[in-house]
Structure 1
């Protein structure tokens, strides 16, 4: 789920954090300098490499965010607040980072970026608070998915957790009005992330840190980057010592975590 602080809980960024896509005009907000950054990234990292595998384009696009400050609660919308399509490349949290990267990797100009951002962030491209993909697993388990869950295909040691997403321990909802969503979450326990598992990860794969809490699927998200023979986890870190987008050695980062969920873009 989207978070006020991705390292704590991936709860909605605006909570204190198979139909065709909608063509309706929606309220939008581009932060200062965002349009310039969008066009610069697309010209430098998307168009020249459009013939490459999508994951490689994701890797190039996401490199433009290294060092970008971490900031939660940049989205606009909530139970009592109209949803606005926000594009702010100046500040990201762990979830908005992957939203922007995936949308940019599909785009050829600013207009197509905004269209793709709607499709990535919202189910059926409908800009509405309750249509927002609040959970990481919404990327593969909802209509017009962004990615597919490859977790079971890369490790024979994966486990399945029966979740009731959006349900707090006291029975209330993290996202008011969204309802409770039973969902099976596949994950690879941290102690089963072997060299064989790492070998099957590709640049541009999206990784979620599995959450053992019943109402959540993951607690943090990021992107797999392979370079110089090593595997890194590119993520918007909320840790006080970082507070920016960084590359962390994936195996070291996950050693103290419960496990991982791995998605590959469509």
Structure 2
């Protein structure tokens, strides 16, 4: 036990220079948030410490089942590394799970290590630098994190893959919906980030193909999926995690309709069939 505690203290000290300072972090409730993060990290390491990324993703996601749905938890001025374990939307649910899985794989079980990885995944280049540095668009999140070797998109390897070409500029063209963009400097930075996504080409699996046996066979329990949208200027409308039940994929996600993190009782294919504004899915996997 003494050696174990010494190892934890040494690890925390070694990372203190790299970890975000308290002034850069905004907790919903620091005591309960950090306690819950530590409990999940310790449990995941004990149960699945050396497991494949998808196994950790699935396990950690299930530890968050029942967490209330809460929108816009990241909004606030100035921009901070925001953590709220008492309420999540689809984006923060997936971010939290992925950052915790990456932390466990590193052999670490501290909320400070989680914060370090959360910042790496949430912000462009892995560093918080204002509102526009947040990877608001999923396409931007995929490209930035894939470039740094954290995730990989595997959609193009799936049978029946198609490609969409779309200009992604929803935020700048709907500036009034985003209070932070009232600041002219942040607005220009956001527009600058969107420039790289004019006529952006990305792979997706059409909604109608989600019931295909070949597509289902290629899916893994614990895959992160991004649900693409028909909405002009926007690439993705929702994020979740695949849970396989008797070989059939279901969606684990922070559901606004069900007001919490749930695993849908209906198969993913049925969810997609009913979602008229969705065009399909993209599949992302953690890399380590």
TM-score of the superposition, structure 1-length normalised? 0.83
In the alignment, which residue of structure 2 is the partner of 1:51?
Answer: 50
User: How far is the alpha carbon of 1:247 from its aligned partner?
Assistant: 0.8
User: How far is the alpha carbon of 1:110 from its aligned partner?
Assistant: 1.2
User: How far is the alpha carbon of 1:136 from its aligned partner?
Assistant: 1.4
For 2:66 and 2:100, how far apart are their aligned partners in 1? 18
User: How far is the alpha carbon of 1:47 from its aligned partner?
Assistant: 4.3
Q: Greater helix percent: which structure?
A: 2
Aligned match of 1:31 in 4, 28, 33?
A: 28
1:57/1:24 Cα in 2 relative to 1: closer, same or farther (>3 Å)? closer
Q: Counterparts in 2 of 1:96-111, with a 5 A limit? A: 96-107=92-103, 108=108, 109-111=110-112
In the alignment, which residue of structure 1 is the partner of 2:262?
Answer: 246
Q: Confirm or deny: 8 A CA contact 1:138 1:145 kept in the other structure.
A: no
In the alignment, which residue of structure 2 is the partner of 1:112?
Answer: 113
For 2:251 and 2:203, how far apart are their aligned partners in 1? 19
For 1:199 and 1:220, how far apart are their aligned partners in 2? 22
1:230/1:29 Cα in 2 relative to 1: closer, same or farther (>3 Å)? same
1:145/1:215 Cα in 2 relative to 1: closer, same or farther (>3 Å)? farther
In the alignment, which residue of structure 2 is the partner of 1:140?
Answer: 142
Computed over aligned residues only, the root mean square deviation of the Cα atoms, in angstroms, reads 2.0
For 2:81 and 2:120, how far apart are their aligned partners in 1? 11
Q: Confirm or deny: 8 A CA contact 1:225 1:232 kept in the other structure.
A: yes
TM-score of the superposition, structure 2-length normalised? 0.77
1:199/1:70 Cα in 2 relative to 1: closer, same or farther (>3 Å)? same
User: How far is the alpha carbon of 1:213 from its aligned partner?
Assistant: 2.2
Q: Confirm or deny: 8 A CA contact 2:69 2:261 kept in the other structure.
A: yes
Residue 205 of structure 2 aligns to a residue in which SS? strand
Aligned match of 1:88 in 70, 76, 84?
A: 84
Q: Confirm or deny: 8 A CA contact 1:147 1:264 kept in the other structure.
A: yes
Q: Which runs of 4+ in 1 moved over 4 A?
A: 170-175
User: How far is the alpha carbon of 1:57 from its aligned partner?
Assistant: 0.4
- 2:233 pairs with 1:197: no
Q: Confirm or deny: 8 A CA contact 1:139 1:145 kept in the other structure.
A: no
Consecutive unaligned residues of structure 2, counting only runs of 5 or more, are 1-17, 182-186
- 2:244 pairs with 1:226: yes
For 1:119 and 1:47, how far apart are their aligned partners in 2? 24
For 1:214 and 1:88, how far apart are their aligned partners in 2? 30
Q: Which moved more, 1:87-96 or 1:196-205?
A: 196-205
1:171/1:90 Cα in 2 relative to 1: closer, same or farther (>3 Å)? closer
Q: Which moved more, 1:202-211 or 1:54-63?
A: 202-211
Report how many residues are paired: 238
For 1:48 and 1:35, how far apart are their aligned partners in 2? 20
In the alignment, which residue of structure 2 is the partner of 1:158?
Answer: 161
